[in-house]
């Protein structure tokens, strides 16, 4: 038996093979296809009609309205309406309308299981890899191919291990790990291979923090990012069961558990990793990406006097419950600096409710946070964005020129800890100085 | 694979030079994403080359630096180029998602390691024969194409069909005929 990486094992099962080799071009059966209001119905519906085709398996489809909600103008209202009408006409069993961002809502509702082979109509779809699934983003036309045939082609990627030894310090989190990797390798550094996050510092991360790593595999240019499932994964899955309602039990969208490989097999065999990079978590400090690229890593101290107008805690990669808790640790008992706007767009309604229950939200409100709808919001750059010439520090994924506002908007990326500390000081600040 | 002996015609193309790391948001700006492709196309690369969308002509070719199309899954980033009539993009590397999207929409991407030869600003014209890139009429005659990564046959077939949607149509029509036979 040839040695196989975690990515290869999942691909091999989906392709109906015993094993696959790097570079093989294979056709895989898709266990789950996720799309949202922007990439989904408004694009798929006309193409399906043109083809005269039907969805291959509605149970394996999940639709999330998150990009154009709440609708801010006539154009977005239409797009959301198309999604709602189509979901109703198709009688889709798995629809999450204005519940939060797809990459967080879908796993939180138990749709993604270790070992599954999934696609998403969004570049941050590798988030599902945090659960030990192979999940990657595709465009709408390719999604059409998937929802018609249930299959997709793939070139079996290399596995690049990002091995993090040691332990993160207080005030440093998964977002800092990710920004440091992106700064080191660049936005296409992973060359569309599979990235697997390994080592003691990764094993110590909560499932949502692992999501932050896998999510921003997109900014490394990887096809996907993976973390092998372990007891943290199993505990999280138990706490987030699949979709069931009391009136009408709905089957899990993808596959029966028994069809998936046992979790114990879901790891990379010794010798199966093609490239391994070493990192020391002990030495990692809070990271900062300067305008206009996530790869534009700069020492935080270089911007200690950079005044900010807006501190934005948002997005699938920066506003989950734990991110809100990070911010609350920094802001507890404090007020944000005069003239600074602290905006919070929770990643999901579920996370928002949990933050309300454990007091996190109140701390942030007391500090002066303004709560925005739980949706992609300014991160997607599809409408609501920042002002001309404003300087923003944001826990989101991308700071491309013109994405989150006019070309003159200066967006820095950092962890929720660092965004909160900067809100407090009024200029870019190291959270460790506040937490100390 | 297309060989030099193939009967494919040689075509001549005007070049647009682009830098490294051109992202999807530059190709298809988010603010216009709620509109149709005709509107988004008018804003293609407006932050980088303001004159591009109005001046580009059908058949033109983009020659870009590494990592062309990094970023979002939005296939509009490739669709605008198809809409504007861009014949092909030549770059040393692409965002992986953009690469798939381009072929799915019928846009030929050529991965060329000898990009330095093309990025010489004096170079204003390029010659294509299928997936082979030539710098000059002389290089066509002596058959000295630039070194490009070969495009897998099935992707080339998809581009020639005009993308995945026409390709699926062909397949379904074929399946229907077979079912009746």
Residue-by-residue DSSP string for A342-368: EEEE-SBHHHHHHHHHTTHHHHHHHHT
Residue A365's contacts (CB-CB under 8 Å, 6 or more residues apart) are A371
Binary contact (B47, A402; C-beta < 8 A): yes
pLDDT digits (tens, 9 = 90+) for A264-308: 799 999 999 999 999 999 999 999 999 999 999 999 999 998 999
Start-to-end Cα distance in chain B: 32
Q: Chain A: nearest CA to B140, how far in angstroms?
A: 31
Instruction: Give yes or no for a contact between A42 and A82, defined as CB atoms under 8 angstroms apart.
Output: yes
pLDDT band at B116 (very low <50, low <70, confident <90, very high): confident
Q: Residue A382: what pLDDT? A: 85
Q: Residue A250: what pLDDT? A: 39
pLDDT mean over B149-167: 94
Q: Could you read off the pLDDT tens digit of each residue along chain A, which spans 436 residues?
A: 699 999 999 999 999 999 999 999 999 999 999 999 999 999 999 999 999 999 999 999 999 999 999 999 999 999 999 999 999 999 999 999 999 999 999 999 999 999 999 999 999 999 999 999 999 999 999 999 999 999 999 999 999 999 999 999 999 999 999 999 999 999 999 999 999 999 999 999 999 999 999 999 999 999 999 999 999 999 999 999 987 543 333 344 444 555 677 877 999 999 999 999 999 999 999 999 999 999 999 999 999 989 999 999 999 999 999 999 999 999 999 999 999 999 999 999 999 999 999 999 999 999 999 999 999 999 998 876 898 999 999 999 999 998 999 989 999 999 999 999 999 999 999 999 999 8
Question: What is the Cα–Cα distance from A243 to B105, expressed in whole angstroms?
Answer: 35
Instruction: Give yes or no for a contact between B117 and B106, defined as CB atoms under 8 angstroms apart.
Output: no
Q: Residue A111: what pLDDT? A: 96
Residues of A in contact with B66 (CB under 8 A): 188
Question: How high does pLDDT run on average in chain B?
Answer: 93
Residues of B in contact with A40 (CB under 8 A): none
On the 0-12 / 13-18 / 19+ scale of CB atoms within 10 A, A49 is exposed
Looking at residue B68, the DSSP 8-state letter turns out to be B
3-class secondary structure, B138: helix
Residues of B in contact with A138 (CB under 8 A): 73, 97, 100-101
Residue from B100, B106, B156, B172 to probe the interface with A (highest A Cβ count within 10 Å): B100
Q: Chain B: nearest CA to A193, how far in angstroms?
A: 9
Q: Residue A427: what pLDDT? A: 98
Predicted complex ipTM? 0.93
Q: How many CA atoms lie within 13 A of A361 on its CB side?
A: 17
pLDDT band at B179 (very low <50, low <70, confident <90, very high): confident
Cα-based distances in Å from A159 to A4, A20, A82, A190, A265: 10, 12, 39, 10, 16
Binary contact (A76, B25; C-beta < 8 A): no
Residue of B nearest to A47 (CA): B165
Question: What is the Cα–Cα distance from A25 to A10, expressed in whole angstroms?
Answer: 14
pLDDT band at B166 (very low <50, low <70, confident <90, very high): very high
Question: Is the per-residue pLDDT at B6 higher than 70?
Answer: no
pLDDT digits (tens, 9 = 90+) for A87-122: 999 999 999 999 999 999 999 999 999 999 999 999
Residue of B nearest to A222 (CA): B96
Q: Residue B176: what pLDDT? A: 87
Q: Residue A258: what pLDDT? A: 56
Q: What is the 3-state secondary structure (H, E, C) of A298-342?
A: ECHHHHCCCECCEEEEECCCCCCHHHHHHHHHHHCCCCCCCCCEE
Instruction: Give yes or no for a contact between A258 and A387, defined as CB atoms under 8 angstroms apart.
Output: no
Q: Residue A261: what pLDDT? A: 76
Q: Chain B: nearest CA to A141, how far in angstroms?
A: 6
Residues of A in contact with B50 (CB under 8 A): none
Question: How high does pLDDT run on average in chain A?
Answer: 94
Question: Which residues in A284-318 are b (16+ Cβ under 10 Å) and which e?
Answer: bebbbbbbbbbbbbeebeebeebebbbbbbbbbbb
Q: Chain B: nearest CA to A188, how far in angstroms?
A: 6
Dihedral over Cα of B8, B14, B16, B20: its sign:
positive
Question: Is the per-residue pLDDT at B64 higher than 50?
Answer: yes
On the 0-12 / 13-18 / 19+ scale of CB atoms within 10 A, B158 is buried
Residues of A in contact with B75 (CB under 8 A): 139-142
């Amino acid at each position: 038996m040839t040695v196989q990486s975690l990515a290869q094992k999942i691909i091999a099962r989906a392709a109906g093979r015993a094993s696959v080799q790097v570079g093989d071009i294979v056709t895989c059966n898709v266990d789950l296809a996720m799309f949202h209001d922007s990439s989904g119905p408004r694009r798929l519906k006309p193409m399906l009609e043109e083809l005269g085709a039907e969805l291959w398996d509605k149970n394996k489809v999940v639709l999330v309205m998150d990009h154009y909600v709440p609708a801010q103008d006539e154009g977005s209202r239409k797009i959301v309406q198309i999604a709602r009408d189509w979901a109703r006409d198709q009688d889709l069993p798995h629809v999450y309308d204005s519940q939060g961002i797809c990459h967080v809502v879908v796993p939180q509702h138990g749709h993604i299981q270790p070992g599954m082979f999934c696609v998403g109509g969004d570049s941050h779809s590798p988030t599902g890899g945090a659960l030990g699934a192979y999940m990657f983003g595709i465009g709408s036309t390719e999604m059409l191919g998937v929802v018609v045939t249930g299959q997709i082609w793939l070139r079996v990627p290399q596995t690049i291990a990002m091995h993090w030894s040691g332990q993160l310090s207080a005030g440093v989190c998964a977002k800092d790990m990710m920004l440091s990797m992106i700064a080191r390798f660049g936005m296409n550094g992973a060359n569309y291979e599979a990235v697997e996050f390994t080592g003691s510092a990764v094993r110590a991360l909560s499932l949502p923090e692992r999501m932050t790593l896998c999510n921003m595999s997109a900014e490394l240019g990887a096809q996907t990012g993976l973390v092998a499932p372990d007891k943290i994964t199993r505990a999280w899955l138990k706490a987030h069961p699949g979709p069931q309602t009391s009136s009408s039990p709905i089957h899990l969208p993808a596959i029966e558990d028994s069809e998936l490989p046992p979790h114990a097999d879901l790891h990379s065999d010794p010798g199966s990793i093609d490239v391994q990079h070493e990192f020391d978590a002990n030495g990692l400090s809070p990271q900062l990406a300067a305008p206009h690229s996530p790869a534009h890593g700069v020492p935080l101290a270089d911007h200690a006097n950079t005044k900010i107008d807006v501190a934005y805690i948002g997005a699938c990669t920066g506003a989950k419950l734990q991110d809100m808790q990070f911010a609350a640790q920094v802001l507890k008992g404090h007020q944000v600096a005069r003239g600074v706007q602290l905006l919070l767009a929770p990643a999901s309604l579920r996370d928002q409710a949990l933050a309300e229950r454990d007091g996190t939200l109140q701390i942030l409100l007391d500090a002066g946070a303004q709560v925005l709808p739980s949706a992609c919001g300014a991160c997607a750059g599809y409408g609501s964005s920042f002002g001309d010439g404003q300087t923003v520090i944001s826990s989101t994924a991308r700071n491309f020129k013109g994405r989150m506002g006019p070309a003159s908007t200066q967006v820095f990326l950092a962890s929720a800890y660092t965004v909160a500390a900067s809100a407090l000081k009024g200029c870019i600040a190291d959270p460790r100085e506040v937490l100390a | 694979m297309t060989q030099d002996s193939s009967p494919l015609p040689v075509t001549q193309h005007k070049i647009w030079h682009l830098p490294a790391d051109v992202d999807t948001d530059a190709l298809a700006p988010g603010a216009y994403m709620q509109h149709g492709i005709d509107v988004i196309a008018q804003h293609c690369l407006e932050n980088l080359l303001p004159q591009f969308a109005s001046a580009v002509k059908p058949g033109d070719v983009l020659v870009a630096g590494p990592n062309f199309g990094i970023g979002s899954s939005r296939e509009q980033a490739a669709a605008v180029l198809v809409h504007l009539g861009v014949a092909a993009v030549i770059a040393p590397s692409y965002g992986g998602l953009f690469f798939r999207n381009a072929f799915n929409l019928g846009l030929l991407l050529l991965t060329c390691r000898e990009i330095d030869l093309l990025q010489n600003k004096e170079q204003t014209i390029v010659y294509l024969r299928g997936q082979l890139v030539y710098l000059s009429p002389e290089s066509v005659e002596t058959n000295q194409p630039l070194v490009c990564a070969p495009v897998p046959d099935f992707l080339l077939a998809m581009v020639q069909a005009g993308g995945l949607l026409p390709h699926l149509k062909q397949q379904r029509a074929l399946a229907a005929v077979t079912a009746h036979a």
